[in-house]
Structure 1
């Protein structure tokens, strides 16, 4: 299973330029997944390809970033390190067959509504004016959006993307005041049940030990890692 491509397809950049087996992705700077190079194949001239990527992001006012995962071309990570690119956001890939359990208190829709977006962005947002770009990324592919609501307010949310015979789990977020109540588990199980069960995967930052423990308890195990390499400032 090519997790690099699954993540790319589930979190689609709205501008993608192909370059000799590389995908140069741009989405207004919102999340590194949609604003980084996915280098799957070895180009004819590696130095020229890296310079082309750097030019691509420079033209858009962004720092050049590469996603370095299981499917990345061999030797790229070492080359980027040699050029002074720093490691950013080490991430764990987890996969399994989680439990599904319908929950009537969990609202599930095929598009994100304002309350869902506000809650997710309150937890994962990087800057105030990026929410419109984030919504554009999310809605770039069919997905389900779930929220545990209290008094009409979403306090825990998640997103599930059907991808053939597997399900991608994204945007799991719980407001600080609603944590440690099992709401993330409830949202996750509701999404899995809505999808009809089966295998699933997700990505979680290496430093988020609490989320990893939750996912292990739901049947996920670590199957790989990736990180980003960001150009020197």
Structure 2
């Protein structure tokens, strides 16, 4: 499978921030406050002076109107950064599992869907409408979130429903792997197998050997689906956010 540091890098490429500053081994990401991943530090290697680096990050984020945040996985550097952040008043947010599977294995176990699944290299307006209706963070943030989607190579799947869509998903294409993002089903059409149909359509269209995803530890329905499809946990992370 894939090491935690490699997974951190892949996920960063699959959901790229508008601005990133290299700080002596840390990647300081900024994206107008939209999504924690795009507005948190990825601590790839240890800075020479961790205390000064922390001060710099906090001042930079505050200057941009962003709450100082760090993504903490088992690959974090320095290794005691989580404890240092806790001592500075940072709290834990969004404990998350990173899961991975071979594309061929998932497709071998998935029954081809009985519904039409459309695949595109760009999100349609109906795709974005469905995504934002399920996972939106306010009207003012939609344009910024759409810019994240446009920064990386990806496939977009949707199950049509007249002029709209019932379900959508995004597959970020990074090197020889793929990352599953934005899986969403309109609440009127849930428990009809549409999430599995979206995953099947995306993976059939991809040439990647491996697929990965992140899922909140407390999201029992999603974890049940991914376990059934054969995804296995390869890493974990959480965020430390300044209280």
Q: TM-score range by the shorter chain?
A: over 0.9
Of the structure 1 ranges 65-74 and 8-17, higher mean CA displacement relative to structure 2 is found in 65-74
Take 2:222 and 2:25, find their aligned partners in 1: how far apart are those partners?
Answer: 34
What is the match of residue 182 of structure 1?
Answer: 193
Take 1:122 and 1:3, find their aligned partners in 2: how far apart are those partners?
Answer: 29
Paired residues in the alignment total 232
CA drift of 1:197 comes to 5.7
What is the match of residue 80 of structure 2?
Answer: 75
**Does the alignment pair 1:8 with 2:40?**
no
CA drift of 1:70 comes to 2.6
Take 2:207 and 2:17, find their aligned partners in 1: how far apart are those partners?
Answer: 27
CA drift of 1:152 comes to 2.6
Q: 1:166 aligns with which of 169, 173, 177?
A: 177
Within-5 A mapping of 1:102-117: 105-117=116-128
Which digits, 9 at most, give the CA deviation of each residue in 1:12-38, with x for residues without a partner?
001111110111111111110101001
What is the match of residue 85 of structure 1?
Answer: 90
Q: 1:213 aligns with which of 189, 213, 224?
A: 224
Q: 2:26 aligns with which of 22, 27, 32?
A: 22
Which digits, 9 at most, give the CA deviation of each residue in 1:140-163, with x for residues without a partner?
011001111111311211000122
Of the structure 1 ranges 219-228 and 120-129, higher mean CA displacement relative to structure 2 is found in 120-129
Which digits, 9 at most, give the CA deviation of each residue in 1:25-59, with x for residues without a partner?
11111110101001111111111101111011101
TM-score by length of 1: 0.96
What is the match of residue 132 of structure 1?
Answer: 143
Give the number of the structure whose residues are more often helix, by fraction.
Answer: 2
**Does the alignment pair 1:202 with 2:213?**
yes
Take 1:53 and 1:125, find their aligned partners in 2: how far apart are those partners?
Answer: 27
CA RMSD of aligned residues (A): 1.4
SS in 2 for 1:34: helix
**Does the alignment pair 1:95 with 2:100?**
yes
CA drift of 1:165 comes to 2.1
CA drift of 1:72 comes to 1.2
After the TM superposition, list the runs of 4 or more consecutive aligned residues in structure 1 that deviate by more than 2 angstroms: 98-104
Q: Which runs of 5+ in 1 are unaligned?
A: none
Q: 2:70 aligns with which of 66, 88, 93?
A: 66
Please say if residues 63 and 231 of structure 1, whose CA atoms lie closer than 8 Å, have aligned partners that are also in contact: yes
